[in-house]
Amino acid sequence: MRKSLLTAVAIFATTPALADVNIYTTRQPELIAPVMAAFTAQTGIAVNLAFVESGLVERLKAEGRRSPADLVMTVDIANLHQIVAADVLQPVDSAILTAAVPADLRSADGLWFALTSRARVVYAHADRVAPGEVTTYEDLASEKWRGRICTRSGVHNYNLALLSAYIAHHGEEAARDWAAGLRANLARRPEGNERAQARAVWAGECDIAIGNTYYIGQMTADPEQQDWAAALRVEFPTFETGGTHINVSGVAMTRAAPNRAEALRLMEFLVSPEAQAIYAESNFEYPVLAGAALAPIVAGWGDFTPDSIDLTEVAGHRAAALRIMEEVNYDG
């Protein structure tokens, strides 16, 4: 018997429930539960979400063909790249997916597809930072920002992805100089999450912070954090030879996938106008489907030009980015 809608989106641990689609996700389940509930309501297919905070690749390799996971959903292109390299996925051939997801936001061999994107931007204090003062990522290492920048840990995936993109544009030597320059411009030692950086700007500890776009939307929706968001202006820096750095959340089908047909149906639903609208409205992310509506607050930030560097190339520089952050003692 089918589970009721109230129990359709569940969390399973070591022993999977008898459900139609099982997902290992590095995203907090509550962030994707609304879109899964919509899928269940439309199709009657139940979805089980298992939050795997760390060790996803190792878990899939250990389970092998016995894995209960049909799909994996991740944030950060490096996570997707690591899963591909582990050879635990199978390609998906779907006209619906390839039509909905732009070629630069999916793998050429059908192993993964982006579902949403987010930009790595600058949270600028609306009064202390003049319009136009924020220009390029390269400029963030210039002396004009000395003692004015806050960031979270340099070895967090989001900052490693940005540095990886820098390597893709300029090479490792230039990236090392940039990371050292950015560290020299910090107003305080890296600490906390993206919201903590926004709060620090609001509190006057720094004038700008580096963060992902969607956190501003989340803070605006939180009564305790609305003042932090209201004090900020979202600025879209670019690379001198490119656009604004983006990262993606994505989905892939495991090689084991015990419920392949149902899993494919869910993948195709996730890029539908309905699902993309839910993502945009509830998570304040950018849809991958052309023409999908943005959340009003996201639309209010204005347009930007995404960087054209291949995301797979960016992911390939992650090890070098981590080494550089450690060499410059970014967090120290």
pLDDT digit string (tens) for the chain, length 332 residues: 333 333 344 444 444 444 589 999 998 888 899 999 999 999 999 999 999 988 999 999 999 999 999 999 998 899 999 999 999 999 999 999 999 999 999 999 999 999 999 999 999 999 999 999 999 999 999 999 999 999 999 999 999 999 999 999 999 999 999 999 999 999 999 999 999 999 999 999 999 999 999 999 999 999 999 999 999 999 999 999 999 999 999 999 999 999 999 999 999 999 999 999 999 999 999 999 999 999 999 999 999 999 999 999 999 999 999 999 999 999 99
User: Per the structure block, which two tokens stand in for 95?
Assistant: 């006209």
CATH 3.30.1120.10 for the 119-245+304-327 domain, yes or no: no
C-alpha to C-alpha distance for 75 and 26, rounded to whole angstroms = 7
Give the pLDDT of residue 29.
Answer: 87
Positive/negative CA dihedral, 70, 74, 77, 81: negative
Classified as helix, coil or strand, 89 is strand
Pick the CATH number of 5-117+246-299 from 3.30.710.10, 3.40.50.2000, 2.60.120.10, 3.40.190.10: 3.40.190.10
CA 319 to chain centre: 18
Helices (H), ranges, the chain: 29-43, 56-63, 77-85, 95-100, 157-170, 172-184, 194-203, 213-220, 226-230, 260-270, 273-283, 296-299, 311-316, 318-327
Where are the domains positioned within the chain? 5-117+246-299, 119-245+304-327
Amino acid at 37: A
If DSSP states are collapsed to H, E and C, what string results for 189-227? Answer: CCCCCHHHHHHHHHHCCCCEEEEEHHHHHHHHCCCCCHH
Judge whether 5-117+246-299 and 119-245+304-327 match in fold. Answer: yes
Instruction: Report the interhelical angle of 157-170 vs 172-184 (nearest 10°).
Output: 130
Of 179, 181, 169, the C-alpha closest to 142 is 181
Model pTM score: 0.89
